[in-house]
Structure formats: C-alpha cells, structure tokens
Amino acid sequence: MLARLAENLFWAGRYVERAEDATRMVDVTYHTLLESTSGEIEASWTQLLEVLHLRAAYGERPIEPVPVIEFLVLDRDNPNSIVTSILRARENARSVRELISSELWASINDLHLGLGARDLRQELAEQPYELFGMIRRACMGIYGVASETMPRDDAWRFMALGRVLERAEMTCRLIDVRHQQLEKLAGPTGRLPSGGERARGTDRADFHDWVAVLKSASAFEAYRRRYRASMDPADVVEFLLLEPDLPRSVVFCLSSAMHQLGVLSHGAPSRAARTLGRVTASLQYRDVGELFELGLHDFLEQVQHRVGEVAEAVADEFFRHHPGGSMQAVATT
Amino acid sequence: MTALFDDYDPGGPRFFDEVFGPTGEVRPHYRELVARLRSFTPQDLDRREVIRDRIFRSQGITFTVYGDASGPDSADEGVERTFPMDLLPRIIPVDEWATVEQGVAQRVTALNRFLDDLYVGEQAAVNDGVVPRWLLHTADGFRREAFGIPVPHAARCLVSGVDLVRDVDGTYRVLEDNLRNPSGISYVLENRAAMTRVLPVAFAQQRVRPVDHYGPSLLRALREVAPPAAGEHPTAVVLTPGQFNSAYFEHAFLARQMGIELVEGRDLVVDEHVVYMRTTRGLQRVDVIYRRIDDDFLDPVVFRPDSALGVPGLLSAARVGNVTIANAVGNGVADDKAVYAFVPDLIRYYLGEDPVLPNVDTYLLWEREQREAVLARLHELVVKPVAASGGYGMLIGPHASDQEIAIFRDRIEADPRGYIAQEVVSLSRHPTLVGEGFEGRHVDLRPFAIAGETVEVIPGGLTRVALRKGSLVVNSSQGGGSKDTWVLDGQPTGA
C-alpha cells in the first residue's frame, strides 16, 4: 500500500478517536461542575486544558466555562478542537476513499456535515448534553461501520492502530484530569491508605466526580459489576489503566496496538514494536499502589510520551521511506 | 400517449440533424431507437431521468467547478457537479464509424511520428519545410527539455482525444487535437454503464459495440511503452495532482479500472535516475507513469520550481530511459491551434496518405494577406487563441458585439501568432431532452485513441452537447452535457 494512504488511514483513526475522547472529557468536566463554586470551576477547566496540553494555546483568555468550552469544541484555530479533529478525520478519509467502504466514508462525512448544520455556539451555551451525546454516538457509529464493512487488511489495521494509540493517550489524560485529588488521597508519602480507609475518605462530592470519570469512559456499569458499590479512587485508576478486558483501558489499547503492529510488520522486530512492548510491559501485572508511589501524574505523562514515541516509530517504519534509508527496497512485482 | 417527436424541428437546411434526414424521415440507424421511444410518455422519460440522476449521484460521478476562489482554503469549497447525460444516445452507423476510426488512427499515427522525429529524431518535417521551425519553437506547448527523452514505439501521444464536428452536409471535420491530458473517458464508460440500466430495452434489438475494455487496453499500452529494462512485468501508476483537481474522479476511476496505484508527486522519489514509489513496505520501482499533471508541474528541477505536485528528477530518469512518461513531455507543440493547420500536410509527409478527416478551414494570421482578409470579415469567423482550451477566450463573430470584434482586432494585430481564425462550422444537432420534449442541440464527438505498439480507437467516444439553446460551446466547464455514444455493430435491422 502507498505509504501516504496508510498514514492517512492511521490519522483518520486517530482524529475520530481524538474527537470522541475530547468530547467525553469536556462533557464530564462540564457536568460535574454544575454545582461547584467559581474557584473549583476555574481550577477544573485549567486542569483539563493542561492535561490536553492546550493551556499555552488557550493564552490569556478568561478561564470561564463558556470560552473554554467553545475553545475546546468549536474553535477552528485550535488544532485539537473537536470540530477541527472531525474536519481532519474527514480530510484523511476523503483521500483514502478508494480504500475504505463507502458506508464508512458516508458516516464520517455525515458527522462533519451534521456539525456544520447545527448552531453549536447556542447549543453549548444552553444545553450541550444533546450535542456531546450526538458526537459520541456518531464516533462510536463510525467504528461500528468500519468494523462491519472493512476487510481485515492493512488499510483496516493502520486505522485501528491509530485509533488505539490515540485512545491509550487519551485515557491517560482522562485519569490525569483528577490527579490533584488523587495525590491528595495518597498524601505526601505517596503510600495509599488501606481500601476501607480510602472508601470512607471519599466524600460525597468526590464520589460523583469518580462516577463521572467512569461514565466518560463508558466504564461505570462494568466497574460496578467488578467492584460492587464501593467507590474507591484507586480502584477506578486501576480499572481504567490496568484492566485487560476493558476496551478503553490503557492496557487493553496497548495490547491491541501490539497485535495490529505485529500483523502489519509480519512479526519482524522493529523500533515501534520494541517501544510499544516496553510501555505495555510497564503496565501489565502492575499493582496500582506502586503507581501511586511512583507518582501517578508523572507516570501517566511518561506513558503518553512513550505512546508518542511509538507513533513516531510507526511513521518511520511505514510512512517515511527515503532512498538510502534503512528500509530495504522491495523487489518489483 | 404523446408523440414525443411531433413538435421537433430538425433545423434543416441550416444544420445537419443526426437523427432526422432533410425531408424529416428518421435516418436508418435511428429507426429502431425512435420507434421504441415513440411509445414512451413524458412520465416514462421522467422516471428514467430520476433513475439516471440517482445512479450518477450515488456513484459520485462529478467534476469540480471552481467559481470564486478567494483564499487558500477555497480549494475545499469547489462545487462538485455532475456532467449531465442526456437520455437519448447518439448513434453512429458502422460505415461512418469506419471512416472516423481510420481517420483518427491515421492522424494520431502521423502526430506520433512527427513528435518523435521532433524530439528524438532528425526533424525531417522541419528540415524539409513542411512546418516552419519558428512556429514550433514559439508554440506554448513546445518543451526543449523534452529533447532526447525516448518513448518506445514512438507512442508519445499514448492517449489522444481528437475533437470532431460535423458540418452542414454531415462531413466529419477535426476541430482540434488534444494530445496532452485529454479527459472525458470516464464519462464514456459511466454513461454506457448508466444507459444499460436506464434504457435497457433500447439495447435489446441492436448490437452496440462495447467500450468497457478501455481500462485493459490502456494498461496494455502503458506496459508496451515501458523501458526495455523493466522486464516482463513493468509497474505502471497513474499520477494525479490530487483530490482537489477537477478531473480527480477520472484519475481515481482509471486507476481502479486498471488495478494500479493512484499516486501523487509526493508518493514518488527519484534516486540515481530511478523512480520509486513509497509504500508501507519500502520503495518500489516504477517503470511507467500515466501522468495527469501538466508538463509545467511535472518536475520542479526542470520546470516550475514552486510546483509541489511533481517529482524532482523525474525528467532525468525519463531521459536515461529508466521510466516512461505518458503522455510524453512537449506534446503540446502539436496541438497548438496554429500547428493544427499543418497536420494534413504532416499526414501526407510522414505517411504518404491523404488525410481521411479534413480540418476546419483555418487562417494563419501572421501572413499579411490572410490576416487582412480575416480582419475584414471578423463578424463571420471564429477566432481562437492558439494555446487555450476548454472553449475559453474565443470570439464567435456572428454572435459578437462590435466592441468584442474591435478588441479581437487589436489583439490579432498585436500578436498575430497568438490567434487563428476559422470558418464557422454549424455544428450538427441532435434531439436532446429539454423539459418535456426533444429539441435540437449542437453536438461534437471526442473519440479516444490509445497508442502503444499499435493505435486503437475506442468505439464511439464522448459526445458533448451544448445544453443552452443555440450555444456552440459544448465544453463541460461551460454548461455542456453528454450523450452515450453508440457504434452499431453491423447494419441496422430497420434498414
């Protein structure tokens, strides 16, 4: 396959996921802040901008719900706004129309056109719930359509690889949105108190916050079935980060990326596979308490950084071939 | 039941009507079709138009029209339009087609000989005074960078579209040659595919020669012109400027028809005079490039240095014979509208044959006597810039205002090499569905020829129809439509 098209597929997958996950994070922040004080509101939006690595891009504008939400959702000058991500997803998909199913193209195009037809500013000001729900459902619909209409060829795998790498990063950020509360929980020693103490220490407001985090990862019901009624923040972190069977957990995404990458490179050793293997191993079989002792925020940052390195290595291995480069020229067929 | 043709005005003797003869009788090769259509009601036609529109929309058969481009992002804002296909096909009987086919093949063969001789041969036609050297060197499409670039079998015009019109007595004449990047073949194939679904009954009683072998024929020709060193399985690609080009649909369509990669300039890289494409598994050698990028954008080392569409070093790779570029660089010299006037002489010179298809009578304006005769009767003639295409920048004397005529007079006097004048051809007309009935509209015909080891002309071609009443301009960019074009195999049953 042409390298450029593979890269477009990879980024189409990433951008749809980025739009979906950003929507989840804005949604959860917005709805948990409805009954908060203005100081909490400012702190929370600042934190969200920081974990999305957009604090500098936001600049000197006031940290208030309306301008921040507009910046994150519909600002075309923000390269990571939801509207921009969907536009980029569409551009990438458009250039690979020959390689994807027409249903998949239509579902991405419909989302783009659908957003263009709405008065986003007014919806955000009045009642964003409906809009956030629509974007989330549309993004999940796109994967559903892709999954049901695409043969499992390289085109599919590059798109799937982009998606799971993006999701791994974004789930890290979703947890990181709450890192201040988590560090408060562990205290200056970094050592977690026992489970019972933690559960008792989680007050009612925190409880709702953690429910919201789980819900934004579509993981609340699964969490309840696993951990019953107890709402322990450390359990939430463990679940979202380390649970091998949860489709949005970081470990799940990285394992899935390892699988796709293995098939794409026919199992040949590569820098991408090594980097990915290392970061996956750093999570597997980990005890959540250890992560708190290491410093959860730093650890999450490090995982994101490593995932970025994987994406770079994937680009080097598959997308950027230069004459005289390390790749062998394949025989003419 | 309404008789759809009852009010039809064939327009004789001012125009040649493709369907009705001078006394109003249906020409033999249309009898079968007209008889079938007579039983149709306007509602039947409406229903078929709906089916047609659905087919074209769902296939995304569009070209992009750029209106008020107003910024760097406006490329995304071009309007995608369909190229409307009229429900009534144009039919060419077998004997007429034999003439067209022979004439087009003859013309393309001679032009290939001429171009090959000009760029890699001895320039015999120039040395023997058949066509003036200065004329070639001042042609917009002349490229001295093409000297020494070989093309196997001299197939420099691998794909050509020769535009034909019929004058008032029905004679086919060549209006212009398109030897660089003729487009439109995708409409030929899509029109046929749509027509078999919209009007299957019309096909039932007659044998229409198929066109869907175009893709395989093109691929075969591309492989035939691969450099000898490429071996038995040369790799061919289609090179497109990208998805914002107005003909992108066709580029993607052709790549799909041939089952080869559709690449952009950035997908290709030249190393040590060898062209490679960047794939996910590394660099893969490319032997033949069917490029749909204009000469000027092909290689920034040689042509426009600001072009990001092309491939640096491509021309040097072609010059040493490591890759074949089709169509060849510099073909534009031969479809310059002033050089066009010399094509009948070139046919006689290179082939020793008389031209099968005549030109339209053309006046060359750098010769004082011709120029003065032309300037005296501009209101009766058509004036065209020699390098333009797409129907832009023309003067149609009989329809022009005094002011427009004065403007062209000044232009011709300032730059006589830059224009030609031609007698007005009253393009033939064909019944075309307008509203609820048929009306005569002007048509032309662009047959497509593929040259590899031999020249093959695809039966029929693109019939373009001027949808605006009285309009003589049939170009897609100027509000034209098209017709499925049938070449009948054998004699019509009704004859």
Contacts of B282 in chain A (CB under 8 A): 321, 327-330
- To the nearest whole Å, the CA of A247 is away from the closest chain B CA by 28
Inspect the interface and report whether the beta carbons of A323 and B287 lie closer than 8 Å. no
Inspect the interface and report whether the beta carbons of B282 and A327 lie closer than 8 Å. yes
pLDDT for B175-186, tens place per residue?
Answer: 999 999 999 999
Residue A30 pLDDT grade (very low, low, confident, very high; cuts 50, 70, 90): confident
Enclosing H/E stretch for B389: none
Where does B359-401 have alpha helices with state H? 368-376
In this predicted structure, the answer to whether residue A60 has a pLDDT above a threshold of 70 is: yes
- Any idea which residue has 């240095």 for tokens? B305
For residue B288, what are its two tokens? 């033949």
Query: How many other C-beta atoms are found inside a 10 Å radius of the C-beta of residue B435?
Result: 7
- Any idea which residue has 């600042």 for tokens? A46
Residue A38 pLDDT grade (very low, low, confident, very high; cuts 50, 70, 90): confident
Asked if A76 has any chain B CB less than 8 Å from its own CB, the reply is: no
Give every CB contact of residue B62 below 8 A, 6+ residues apart in sequence.
B80, B81, B82, B83, B249
Minimum Cα–Cα distance from B284: chain A residue: A330
Asked if B285 has any chain A CB less than 8 Å from its own CB, the reply is: yes
In this predicted structure, the answer to whether residue A137 has a pLDDT above a threshold of 50 is: yes
User: What count of Cα atoms within 13 Å lies in the side-chain half-sphere of residue B421?
Assistant: 25
pLDDT for B334-388, tens place per residue?
Answer: 999 999 999 999 999 999 999 999 999 999 999 999 999 999 999 999 999 998 7
Asked if B9 has any chain A CB less than 8 Å from its own CB, the reply is: no
Question: DSSP letter at B225?
Answer: T
CB A216 within 8 A of CB A24: yes
Asked if A321 has any chain B CB less than 8 Å from its own CB, the reply is: yes
Asked if A329 has any chain B CB less than 8 Å from its own CB, the reply is: yes
* DSSP E strand stretches across A35-125: none
For residues B270-286, average pLDDT: 95
Asked if B263 has any chain A CB less than 8 Å from its own CB, the reply is: yes
Contacts of B280 in chain A (CB under 8 A): 1-3, 6, 154, 158, 264, 318-319
For residues A127-145, average pLDDT: 94
To the nearest whole percent, how much of chain B has pLDDT over 90? 69
pLDDT for A246-266, tens place per residue?
Answer: 999 999 999 999 999 999 988
Which of A154, A322, A324 is the closest to B280 by Cβ?
A154
Asked if A125 has any chain B CB less than 8 Å from its own CB, the reply is: no
Averaged pLDDT of chain A = 87
For residue A194, what are its two tokens? 């026992």
pLDDT of residue B72: 37
Q: Which of B318, B337, B358, B331 is nearest to B111 (CA)?
A: B331
Inspect the interface and report whether the beta carbons of A323 and B272 lie closer than 8 Å. yes
Inspect the interface and report whether the beta carbons of A154 and B282 lie closer than 8 Å. no
Inspect the interface and report whether the beta carbons of B266 and A4 lie closer than 8 Å. yes
In this predicted structure, the answer to whether residue B81 has a pLDDT above a threshold of 70 is: no
Minimum Cα–Cα distance from B270: chain A residue: A323
pLDDT of residue B47: 87
Asked if A61 has any chain B CB less than 8 Å from its own CB, the reply is: no
For B:202-231, CB contacts with A below 8 A are 230-231
Asked if B235 has any chain A CB less than 8 Å from its own CB, the reply is: yes
For residue A324, what are its two tokens? 């005289």
In this predicted structure, the answer to whether residue A331 has a pLDDT above a threshold of 60 is: no
pTM of the model: 0.83
Please provide residue B453's backbone torsions phi and psi, each rounded to the nearest 5 degrees: -65, -35
Q: Which of B112, B118, B220 is nearest to B160 (CA)?
A: B112
Helix H, strand E, coil C: the string for A161-227 is HHHHHHHHHHHHHHHHCCHHHHHHHHCCCCCCCCHHHHHHHCCHHHHHHHHHHHHHCCCHHHHHHHH
In this predicted structure, the answer to whether residue B242 has a pLDDT above a threshold of 50 is: yes
Residue B164 pLDDT grade (very low, low, confident, very high; cuts 50, 70, 90): very high
Give every CB contact of residue B165 below 8 A, 6+ residues apart in sequence.
B172, B173, B175, B360, B425, B427, B428, B444, B445
Residue A333 pLDDT grade (very low, low, confident, very high; cuts 50, 70, 90): very low
Asked if B278 has any chain A CB less than 8 Å from its own CB, the reply is: yes
For residues B466-475, average pLDDT: 71
pLDDT of residue B68: 38
pLDDT of residue B393: 85
In this predicted structure, the answer to whether residue A19 has a pLDDT above a threshold of 90 is: yes
Asked if A309 has any chain B CB less than 8 Å from its own CB, the reply is: no
Averaged pLDDT of chain B = 89
- To the nearest whole Å, the CA of B55 is away from the closest chain A CA by 15
For residues B438-459, average pLDDT: 96
Inspect the interface and report whether the beta carbons of A3 and B263 lie closer than 8 Å. no
Residue A188 pLDDT grade (very low, low, confident, very high; cuts 50, 70, 90): low
Contacts of B230 in chain A (CB under 8 A): 332
Contacts of A6 in chain B (CB under 8 A): 280
Contacts of B267 in chain A (CB under 8 A): 2-4
In this predicted structure, the answer to whether residue B494 has a pLDDT above a threshold of 60 is: no
pLDDT of residue B114: 98
- To the nearest whole Å, the CA of B482 is away from the closest chain A CA by 26
In this predicted structure, the answer to whether residue B55 has a pLDDT above a threshold of 50 is: yes
Q: Among positive and negative, which fits the CA dihedral B187, B188, B189, B192?
A: positive
User: What count of Cα atoms within 13 Å lies in the side-chain half-sphere of residue A325?
Assistant: 17
Give the C-alpha distances (Å, rounded to integers) separating B461 from A11, A309, B185, B355. 41, 54, 7, 20
Give every CB contact of residue B197 below 8 A, 6+ residues apart in sequence.
B51, B55
Residue B74 pLDDT grade (very low, low, confident, very high; cuts 50, 70, 90): very low
Asked if B283 has any chain A CB less than 8 Å from its own CB, the reply is: yes
- Return d(Cα B252, Cα B62) in angstroms, integer: 12
Query: Which residue, among B279, B284, B322, B323, would best test binding to A if mutated, counting the most A CBs under 10 Å from its CB?
Result: B279
Contacts of B231 in chain A (CB under 8 A): 332
In this predicted structure, the answer to whether residue A326 has a pLDDT above a threshold of 50 is: no
Which of A4, A154, A264 is the closest to B267 by Cβ?
A4
Residue B77 pLDDT grade (very low, low, confident, very high; cuts 50, 70, 90): very low
Minimum Cα–Cα distance from B257: chain A residue: A98
pLDDT of residue A192: 67
CB B85 within 8 A of CB B482: yes
pLDDT for A148-178, tens place per residue?
Answer: 999 999 999 999 999 999 999 999 998 888 7
Residue B473 pLDDT grade (very low, low, confident, very high; cuts 50, 70, 90): low
SS3 B227: coil
Give the C-alpha distances (Å, rounded to integers) separating B392 from A169, B428, B455. 54, 21, 30
Contacts of A93 in chain B (CB under 8 A): none
- To the nearest whole Å, the CA of A12 is away from the closest chain B CA by 16
Residue B461 pLDDT grade (very low, low, confident, very high; cuts 50, 70, 90): very high
pLDDT of residue B92: 96
Inspect the interface and report whether the beta carbons of B280 and A6 lie closer than 8 Å. yes
Query: Which residue, among A77, A260, A332, would best test binding to B if mutated, counting the most B CBs under 10 Å from its CB?
Result: A332
Which of B231, B272, B279 is the closest to A3 by Cβ?
B279
Residue B277 pLDDT grade (very low, low, confident, very high; cuts 50, 70, 90): very high
Enclosing H/E stretch for B450: strand B448-451
Contacts of A328 in chain B (CB under 8 A): 282
Contacts of A112 in chain B (CB under 8 A): none
- Return d(Cα B444, Cα B421) in angstroms, integer: 19
- Any idea which residue has 């510099």 for tokens? B330
pLDDT of residue B318: 97
Question: Phi-psi category of B401—alpha, beta or left, where left has phi over 0 and alpha has psi -120 to 50?
Answer: beta
For residue B302, what are its two tokens? 């040689």
- To the nearest whole Å, the CA of B268 is away from the closest chain A CA by 10
Inspect the interface and report whether the beta carbons of A2 and B243 lie closer than 8 Å. no
To the nearest whole percent, how much of chain B has pLDDT over 70? 91
